[in-house]
Chain A
Amino acid sequence: MNNDSKEVRLQGTPICRGVSIGKPILFLPAEETVPEFNLNDESLEAEIDRFRKAMRLSRKELETLQKSLYTEDLHESATILESQLQMMQDPMLTTHIEHAILSTRKNAESVFQNQVDQYKIKFDTIKDPFFQDRFRDVQDISRRVMGYLRAKQRLSLASISPDSIVFAKELTAADTAEANNAAASALVTEYGGPASHAAIVAKSKGTPYVSSIPLEGIDPSAHSLAIVDGRTGEVILSPNLDTLRHYQHIRSQLQDHLDKLEDIKNLRPETFDGYTVRLSANIEMASELESLHIHGGNGVGLFRSEFICLSQDSFPSEEEQFAIYKELVEKMRGLPIVIRTFDVGGDKCLSMQQNKETNPFLGCRAIRFLLKEKNIFKSQLRAVLRASAFGDVSIMFPMISTLSELLEAKEIISEAQKELKSEGKKYGYVRIGCMIEVPSAAIIADLLAKECDFLSIGTNDLVQYALAVDRSNHEMSSLYTPTHPSVLRLIKLIVHEATHQGIPVAICGEVAADPRFTPLLLGLGVHELSVATRYLPAVKQAIRNTSIVEASRLAEQALMLTTASDIQALLTQEYKHNSPDDCFYNY
């Protein structure tokens, strides 16, 4: 431990909670400037060999990465790599380059860079943004190959030691997957918000992650040790002995807390005065169901069906979808599953949506897209209905903003049921519900509730739309406050109207997974919480640590407060009181 160097404290934005202590490594993509020099006759052949070797090694690296993605069920990322592998065999990136090395008698990296630059010019002239975007794959390949061609060894995140803390300007899909496989203990980046690819992967694995740390002028790899606090956003380089002891203590407390959560996996999600809540999971693929059963979840409150087509350039056919949904339903082992129809558009931009909108979040997304593309919608509904013959299935519509959308969607369900009946195909009873994520839908919750079997509040979008704050805009993040009094009032209104109609309300946004919100949500009368499987134990613990009487009082108290920060402070204080041992949130 180096006591001579002074500790350096940096403040960034916390993305994924947790504390990690490890060896900092700086991950830099190949440098921008490429050396160019002339070759003599004797070295020409060797240069071609060097180029071929770089290509071979890059291809091998991609193949290994692709294999590991498939074993981890990350099909979306794996398909991206498939087309990159094809490109690496393209004559334009192989024989052309070799010929150019021979004719120009220049070194491989300068020739390669030159060619890639020319392809970029060509791609830039394409008017269609979808085709233009394909150049990103070429860039990704070129970075990889250049890494091998450069004199300095390319630093691959796949080979870092498990205790490493990765510092980078930005991490791509492939980088994050590599870092993830190598079990990096934490990530620190300059760019990348809570919605970035790196953030999603980090959260799914629980890897501490801090972003918005400017790397200009600091060299993390010159320090022997770093601490990342994903709760506060603090990054400490070369910590002094006291700091290190402090964080070692916190780290073991965090681990103890996680170990204790293991003990309650078979217990019911009920408050200590006996009020039972449904605790379900948000999932994206069938492989996550294992974890649902392990953690004792009550069902799936949200299956994000669009994930089955995000990796493709087209929507899967009815038969393909039927196979997927049937497998899901069977793997539920009798537990209920809510399948949300394709929520495309907004931040989940499918390549087949041709028109680029200036404001996609207010544009043709989710139910609006489905009602416009009725064939796609109906084939999905038919597939879900057929799968409902094998278990307990509900259908949920995303982003309803007006009653007529719900009625039209329900009409298409009955059409699909009639068709299936006349074709002699089996289907079961399905419950129908809608997401409440637009303020207009919250305000007419009474009208929607009359036509539904359940409502589900998507708080991420509801907060964004109610406060008119883009949650991916880093500059505005201080305005994105789920504890805003307006949000609480909307939730209260929705629950009130649904209860009046005798139907349950679930919450499936990120606040459902934050245990500090649990008593408030229960107190507001929410019947079901649906969270990523990783958060099931923490939320169950929070439910079991509260009483419904206290929760109702807390909700009343929160509704009297006037600012988001006051309400946040109340929740934090209450959580500290109820769960003093949880260092993930108490610090």
Chain B
Amino acid sequence: MIHVTKVKVKNKMGLHTRPATAIVKLLQSAKCDVFFTHKQETVNAKSILSLLMLAAKRNSSITITTQGVDAEKTMNSLVSAFENHFGENV
């Protein structure tokens, strides 16, 4: 089953080191494949370097694709993490 959702980066400095670290940590237990697409570039979301290379600024949108056994559950937790701007002040 493939899940696709579009989210917005709300963090002040965009998808920088700390949110990227939070995403990678969150996905450590996920069994499904997770991809982020930003400005026509698609990367493996389990790679912190790939996430940083997206250089996604504040208010840019990212398309999340999850595919595999826990795809839905993983998508839900990712979306809420983005909404909570990874626990940072905005």
Contacts and interface: CB of A to CB of B under 8 A. Distances in A.
B89 A126 contact: no
Nearest to A376: B89
Given A313-B16, A314-B13, A352-B13, A83 B50 contact: no
B49 A93 contact: yes
Interface stretch (B1-9, B40-48, B69-77): B40-48
A138 interface: yes
Given A314-B88, A314-B89, A90 B48 contact: yes
Contact of A314 (B12, B48, B50, B55): B12
Interface string B21-40: 10011000000000000000
Contact of A134 (B24, B46, B52, B89): B52
A93 B24 CA distance: 14
Given A126-B55, A131-B55, A119 B49 contact: yes
Contacts of A313: 13, 16-18, 88
Contacts of A138: 49
Interface in A67-87: 82-83, 86-87
Nearest to B25: A86
B11 to A, nearest CB: 8
A131 B47 contact: no
A313 B21 CA distance: 12
A122 B16 CA distance: 16
Contacts of A91: 44, 46-47
A563 B14 CA distance: 51
Interface residues of B, number: 22
A352 B24 CA distance: 22
A321 to B, nearest CB: 11
Contacts of B14: 128, 131
Contacts of B48: 83, 86-87, 90
Nearest to B90: A314
A88 to B, nearest CB: 10
A43 interface: no
Nearest to A312: B18
Interface in A126-141: 126-128, 130-131, 134, 138
B47 A90 contact: yes
Contacts of B13: 130, 313-314, 351-352, 354
A128 B50 contact: no
B57 to A, nearest CB: 7
Interface of A: 82-83, 86-87, 89-93, 119, 122-123, 126-128, 130-131, 134, 138, 312-317, 351-352, 354
Q: Which 6 A-B pairs have the closest CB atoms?
A: A131-B55, A126-B55, A83-B17, A92-B49, A90-B47, A134-B52
